[in-house]
């Protein structure tokens, strides 16, 4: 019996469930298809990264003696779709059945569900057990009677995995969450470690040329591409992070500095989300560094929390709330996305830096995404659908399962508090406290209103005023509402007028 094992571009793990129990006669199919590169117009760098990683993964399978049927984007006859390439592969091989690992995105899962009838062969869809919490596990967590809080979920995952747990069943150091120790501003005297660069080999060079030719009009840049695209290089990057950057990651993970987009961050998210690394091995490396005295507890705990807490929780919310989660808009936001999200041309230096980092690297770290770019979208009332699409387009680690809940539930509070306990709204003071961006901005972060004031300041109070009734009932926002209520009405009106004037002159984004 010959079975076709179809491996997607985010399943580049040798032990992925679809590749287990391979028989010598089985065929592995991999395909670069235009549909997946263009259902949104993905960043050029993301397309190049995934195509190169796929080609290297296919080569590694061939070295094992596995038969791989690889369809490159420019292969003659490429249909441009998963379903079309499956049909063609069935014609090329005598196939008795299809084996796949479940899709990470709803639209692809719906596609998979129809393959058996459409193709006329048995289709086995296996769990993606690279995640530590299955859909069934998360459903059981949601029935415990506890509030659906990430912190509760995270503690249950710590107990389950044993990561950073003491022998008495309590967390190492006596605290579950050390986030309060992870908010230091980066002193000018601190220099982040120099990162390794992975020079593109011939395979990657061919992909870069192909992507430039076919998708050169997409957002982003390809020059300077030096990201890992092989399992070996991914492991080397993980090793570098644990040795050189993890010790400083804890204290400075929320910090931002102009011209240095990566700082102490791992930059591993794209490698984990496509499968070149697993969350388990990343956590184990960080935990080992702590136990060996090579990284402080707040660094190891913060890193582990992002992987077994936030990442797994976000995925659980996505699958629990789909379909329809992406349509939510509890705050009634309708403003179009401003043009500077594509051009970077704005006098707001923090936004200019964050968009520029995103354009150049297909990456920005979580505080840039949440408290600069996302905070602006929240305060300005940008339509959630357009914000979701932007985040999905521009980041090389973005897949709908991780992008949508972060945008809908965290950045925009568009699900009304299902995911986040409060809107992550902040004035310019937060950005000033956590970065040196304001030192290079034409606006004055200390001014609350007027032509020279930082727009984040009056946009923040305009946001509080627009949503006063909703926010007044939120314990974590009550103080801001009380402060607004004590303001002189004329001052509130002046602030709101500044906000309207600023927002109304923003050019909307055109085609990108």
Q: Which residues contact 238 (CB under 8 A, 6 or more apart)?
A: 266, 268, 271, 277, 281, 282, 285
At residue 140, the pLDDT reads 87
**d(C-alpha 237, C-alpha 231), whole Å:** 10
Q: Which residues contact 281 (CB under 8 A, 6 or more apart)?
A: 238
Q: Which residues contact 485 (CB under 8 A, 6 or more apart)?
A: none
**Nearest by Cα to 433 from 262, 179, 181, 185:** 185
Q: Which residues contact 163 (CB under 8 A, 6 or more apart)?
A: 283, 284, 287, 304, 308
In this prediction, residues 440-463 reach a mean pLDDT of 96
Please determine, for residue 158, whether its predicted confidence score (pLDDT) is greater than 70: yes
At residue 512, the pLDDT reads 59
Backbone angles phi, psi at 67, to 5 degrees: -80, 120
**d(C-alpha 61, C-alpha 58), whole Å:** 5
Q: What integer best gives the mean pLDDT of the chain?
A: 95
User: Considering Cα of 149, then 307, then 55, then 48, what sign does the dihedral take?
Assistant: positive
DSSP tally for the chain: helices H, then strands E: 25, 5
Residue pair 53/14 in contact (Cβ under 8 Å)? The answer is: no
Run of H or E residues at 90: helix 82-92
At residue 79, the pLDDT reads 97
**d(C-alpha 370, C-alpha 451), whole Å:** 26
In angstroms, the Cα distances linking 259 to 353, 363, 425, 436 are 8, 13, 25, 10
Number of Cβ within 10 Å of residue 468's Cβ equals 14
Please determine, for residue 145, whether its predicted confidence score (pLDDT) is greater than 60: no
At residue 148, the pLDDT reads 81
At residue 510, the pLDDT reads 66
In this prediction, residues 216-229 reach a mean pLDDT of 97
pTM, whole model, 2 decimals? 0.96
Render pLDDT for 48-62 as a digit per residue (tens, 0 to 9): 999 999 999 999 999
Q: Which residues of 41-75 are buried (b: 16+ CB within 10 A; e: fewer)?
A: bbbbbbbbbbbbbbbbbbebbeeeebbbbbbbbee
Residue pair 238/277 in contact (Cβ under 8 Å)? The answer is: yes
Quote the percentage of the chain above a pLDDT of 70: 99
Give 69's strand partners. Answer: 29
Tokens of 53: 């990683």
Tokens of 44: 């050029």
**d(C-alpha 202, C-alpha 31), whole Å:** 19
Render pLDDT for 300-321 as a digit per residue (tens, 0 to 9): 999 999 999 999 999 999 999 9
- Quote the Cα angle for 202-205-206, to 5°: 90
Please determine, for residue 433, whether its predicted confidence score (pLDDT) is greater than 90: yes
Please determine, for residue 236, whether its predicted confidence score (pLDDT) is greater than 80: yes
Tokens of 475: 């314990």
Q: Which residues contact 35 (CB under 8 A, 6 or more apart)?
A: 80, 81, 82
At residue 225, the pLDDT reads 97
Q: Which residues contact 419 (CB under 8 A, 6 or more apart)?
A: 150, 314, 317, 405, 408, 409, 410
**d(C-alpha 101, C-alpha 5), whole Å:** 9
Render pLDDT for 254-304 as a digit per residue (tens, 0 to 9): 999 999 999 999 999 999 999 999 999 999 999 999 999 999 999 999 999
Domains parsed from the chain with CATH numbers: 3-126 (3.40.50.620), 135-191+227-321 (1.25.40.80), 340-504 (1.10.579.10)
At residue 387, the pLDDT reads 98
At residue 146, the pLDDT reads 61
List for the chain the helix, strand, coil content (%; round to 5): 55, 5, 40
By mean pLDDT, which of 76-90, 136-150, 311-325 is the weakest? 136-150
Please determine, for residue 511, whether its predicted confidence score (pLDDT) is greater than 80: no
**d(C-alpha 192, C-alpha 257), whole Å:** 10
Please determine, for residue 102, whether its predicted confidence score (pLDDT) is greater than 80: yes
Quote the percentage of the chain above a pLDDT of 90: 95
HSE on the CB side for 320, CA within 13 Å? 21
At residue 393, the pLDDT reads 98
pLDDT grade for 141, boundaries at 50, 70 and 90: confident
**Nearest by Cα to 228 from 50, 76, 367:** 50
Intra-chain end-to-end CA distance of the chain, in Å: 48
In angstroms, the Cα distances linking 238 to 52, 235, 249, 282, 367 are 19, 5, 13, 7, 21
Q: Which residues of 288-317 are buried (b: 16+ CB within 10 A; e: fewer)?
A: ebbeeeebbbbbbbbbbbbbbbbbbbbbbb
Render pLDDT for 9-20 as a digit per residue (tens, 0 to 9): 999 999 999 999
**d(C-alpha 40, C-alpha 406), whole Å:** 18
């Amino acid at each position: 019996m010959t079975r076709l094992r179809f491996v997607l571009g985010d399943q580049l793990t040798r032990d992925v469930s679809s590749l287990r129990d391979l028989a010598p006669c089985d065929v592995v199919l991999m395909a670069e298809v235009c549909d997946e590169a263009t259902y949104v117009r993905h960043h050029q760098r993301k397309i190049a990264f995934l195509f190169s990683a796929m080609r290297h993964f296919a080569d590694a399978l061939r070295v094992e003696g596995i038969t791989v049927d690889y369809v490159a984007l420019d292969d003659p006859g490429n249909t441009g779709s998963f379903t079309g390439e499956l049909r063609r592969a069935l014609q090329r091989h005598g196939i008795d059945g299809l084996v796949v690992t479940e899709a990470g995105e709803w639209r692809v899962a719906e596609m998979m569900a129809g393959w058996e009838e459409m193709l006329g062969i048995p289709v086995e869809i296996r769990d993606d057990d690279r995640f530590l919490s299955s859909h069934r596990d998360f459903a059981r967590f949601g029935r415990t009677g506890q509030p659906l809080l990430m912190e509760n979920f995270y503690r249950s995952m710590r107990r389950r995995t044993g990561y950073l747990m003491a022998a008495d069943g309590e967390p190492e150091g006596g605290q579950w969450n050390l986030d309060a120790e992870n908010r230091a501003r980066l002193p000018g005297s601190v220099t982040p470690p120099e990162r390794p660069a992975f020079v593109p080999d011939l395979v990657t060079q061919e992909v870069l040329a192909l992507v430039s030719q076919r998708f050169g009009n997409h957002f982003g840049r390809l020059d300077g591409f030096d990201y890992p695209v092989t399992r070996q290089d991914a492991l080397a990057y993980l090793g570098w992070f644990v040795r050189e950057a993890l010790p400083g990651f804890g204290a400075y993970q929320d910090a931002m500095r102009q011209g240095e987009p990566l700082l102490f961050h791992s930059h591993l998210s794209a490698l984990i989300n496509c499968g070149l690394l697993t969350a388990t091995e990343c956590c184990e490396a960080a935990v080992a560094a702590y136990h060996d005295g090579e990284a402080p507890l707040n660094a190891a705990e913060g890193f582990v929390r992002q992987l077994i807490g936030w990442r797994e929780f976000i995925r659980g919310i996505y699958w629990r709330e789909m379909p329809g989660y992406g349509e939510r808009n509890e705050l009634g936001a309708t403003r179009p996305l401003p043009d500077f999200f594509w051009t970077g041309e704005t006098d707001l230096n923090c936004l200019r830096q964050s968009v520029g980092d995103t354009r150049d690297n297909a990456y920005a770290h979580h505080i840039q995404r949440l408290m600069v770019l996302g905070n602006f979208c929240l305060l300005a009332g940008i339509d959630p659908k357009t914000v979701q699409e932007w985040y999905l387009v521009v980041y090389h680690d973005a897949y709908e399962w991780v992008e949508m809940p972060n945008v809908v539930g965290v950045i925009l509070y568009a699900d009304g508090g299902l995911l986040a306990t409060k809107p992550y709204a902040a004035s310019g003071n937060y950005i000033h406290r956590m970065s040196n961006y304001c030192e290079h901005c034409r606006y004055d972060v200390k001014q609350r209103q007027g032509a020279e004031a930082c727009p984040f300041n009056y946009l923040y109070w305009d946001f509080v005023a627009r949503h006063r009734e909703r926010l007044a009932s939120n314990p974590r926002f009550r103080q801001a509402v009380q402060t607004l209520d004590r303001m002189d009405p004329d001052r509130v009106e002046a602030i709101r007028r500044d906000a309207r004037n600023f927002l109304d002159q923003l050019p909307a984004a055109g085609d990108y």
